[in-house]
């Protein structure tokens, strides 16, 4: 038989980027523990609409943990209390009957709130545009096996590439630093021969953009890696530091 719980939600409501925000409290009864966190919010919004109130705005898209759109800070953790999952993969069975759940938007100077729980994460796109790519001339595509790549490097690059750019790292960091994101995006290319060619230019451009956008300085607390829904490793940050310092010394 399906189990249901009654919960109290404290949700951050903010009319717009410049408006003053505050918490609103909602009571939700008979929430199925099989529903996901976002489905629970859908139930809340349906209730709000039926009461002719404005629904809560939150980001979501694929709802299967790969797009990186959902972005809620739930009970003091980005993507909620469970580890290595996104908000959409969080289920209500993680909560108990009578729990009060506090839902906040990502808070970082570089991620301004658009409305309620939705934040502007274009800062990450700008960092990618600054250098998170490999320049290729159009023409014949070389065979994938023409360049031998050690399995270890390929695996590590793939692990770094699992970053979905959701922003949980910057949201979790007490310094509002985006280092884990930049480190993952630098690493996924720097580890591979195709990416090594432009590695120095890339790391300088991406890190410069990160600093320019108002993200903080990394102090190696490791909160980012602890909260990352894709478990991106902290050692990527060491690689970013190494790449950057070497690039600067070569200049």
Partner 1 sequence: MWLFNSSVGRKFVMSITGASLVLFLLFHASMNLVAIISPEGYEWICEMLGANWYALVGTAGLGFLVFVHIVYAFILSIQNYRARGTERYAVVERQDGVEWASKNMLALGLIIVLGLCMHLAHFWAKMQLVEILGEEPASGMELIRMTFSKWYWAALYMVWLGALWFHLTHGVWSALHSLGLNNNIWMPRIKCLSNIVATLVVLMFASVVVYYFCMGCCA
Binding site for partner 1 (CB under 8 A): 10, 21, 23, 73, 75-77, 81, 83, 102, 104, 107-111, 113, 156, 172, 174-177, 179, 207-208, 210-211, 214-223, 225-227, 233-235, 237-246, 248
Query: Minimal distance in Å, beta carbon 42 to partner 1?
Result: 23
Q: Cβ distance 208 to 144 under 8 Å?
A: no
Of 76 and 193, which has the nearer Cβ to partner 1? Answer: 76
Query: Minimal distance in Å, beta carbon 111 to partner 1?
Result: 8
Of 32 and 233, which has the nearer Cβ to partner 1? Answer: 233
Of 31 and 237, which has the nearer Cβ to partner 1? Answer: 237
Of 27 and 83, which has the nearer Cβ to partner 1? Answer: 83
Of 61 and 109, which has the nearer Cβ to partner 1? Answer: 109
Phi, psi of 103 (to 5 degrees): -115, 120
Query: Minimal distance in Å, beta carbon 124 to partner 1?
Result: 15
Distance CA 71, CA 81 (A): 13
Q: Cβ distance 28 to 9 under 8 Å?
A: yes
Report residue 51 CA to chain centroid gap.
33
Query: Minimal distance in Å, beta carbon 137 to partner 1?
Result: 31
What is the β-pairing status of strands 100-104 and 4-13? parallel
Nearest-10 Cα torsion for 228, 230, 235, 237: -60
Count of other CB atoms within 10 angstroms of residue 199? 18
Query: Minimal distance in Å, beta carbon 141 to partner 1?
Result: 32
């Amino acid at each position: 038989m399906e189990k249901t719980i009654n919960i109290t939600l404290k949700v951050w409501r903010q009319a717009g980027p410049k408006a003053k925000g505050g918490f609103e409290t909602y009571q939700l009864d008979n929430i199925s523990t099989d529903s996901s966190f976002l489905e629970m919010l859908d139930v809340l919004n349906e209730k709000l609409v039926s009461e002719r109130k404005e629904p809560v705005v939150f980001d979501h898209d694929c709802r299967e943990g790969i797009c990186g759109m959902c972005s809620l800070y739930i009970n003091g953790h980005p993507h909620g209390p469970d580890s290595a999952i996104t908000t959409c993969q969080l289920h209500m069975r993680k909560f108990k009957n009578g729990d009060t759940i506090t839902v906040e938007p990502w808070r970082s100077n570089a991620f301004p709130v658009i409305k309620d729980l939705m934040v502007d994460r274009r800062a990450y796109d700008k960092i990618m545009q600054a250098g998170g790519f490999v320049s290729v001339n159009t023409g014949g595509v070389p065979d994938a096996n023409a360049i031998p790549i050690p399995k270890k490097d390929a695996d590590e690059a793939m692990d770094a590439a699992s970053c979905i750019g959701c922003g949980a790292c910057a949201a979790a960091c007490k310094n509002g630093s985006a280092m884990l994101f930049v480190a993952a995006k630098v690493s996924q290319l720097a580890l591979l021969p195709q990416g090594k060619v432009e590695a120095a230019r890339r790391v300088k451009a991406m890190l410069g953009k990160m600093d320019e956008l108002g993200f903080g300085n990394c102090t190696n607390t490791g909160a980012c890696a602890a909260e990352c829904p894709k478990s991106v490793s902290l050692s990527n940050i060491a690689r970013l530091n190494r790449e950057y310092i070497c690039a600067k010394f070569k200049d």
